[in-house]
Amino acid sequence: MTQGIVSVSPDATVYEAAKKMKNENIGSLLVIDDGELLGIMTERLITLSVVAEGLDPKKIKIKDVMFENAVSLFPDMDLKKAAMVLEELEIRYCPVIEHGEVIGILSVSDIANLIEHFIDCVFAELGVRARKRRGT
């Protein structure tokens, strides 16, 4: 999970959102209004719903193209279950909620990085065991 919330107003333009994503080096923004999570805006939505349709990103509001969140994850959710939620909904980002507050966002990249780290740990442990068996 990526902690820290980078958000955008539903009344911001798609152009403003894209600039914010570029500056923050992220692929999604949570759409929040008066502390309430309304949805999510992703670089994919910008590409497919605005650019590919020939719309002007400086004129289109986030609220007109955002993905309205119908689901969120919880910090103690099993990783396999969280990954299945992303897969079933065909989404790459999902907010993580604790006690009614957004505390972060889980992305497919977060899951891939965790799996990579896990595999590295397994190989390191296998190397330690092999050295012990050889007596080195």
Distance in angstroms (rounded) separating the CA atoms of residues 35 and 32: 6
Domains in the chain: boundaries: 2-108
User: Looking at the domain 2-108, which fold is it?
Assistant: CBS-domain (3.10.580)
What is the reported pTM? Answer: 0.77
Strand 2-3 and strand 101-107: pairing?
antiparallel
Distance in angstroms (rounded) separating the CA atoms of residues 26 and 41: 11
Q: Which two tokens stand for residue 85?
A: 């939620």
Instruction: For the chain, 136 residues long, give each residue's pLDDT as a single digit of tens.
Output: 677 789 999 999 999 999 999 999 999 999 999 988 999 999 999 999 999 999 999 999 999 999 987 688 999 999 899 999 999 988 889 999 999 888 989 999 889 988 888 888 888 888 888 888 887 6
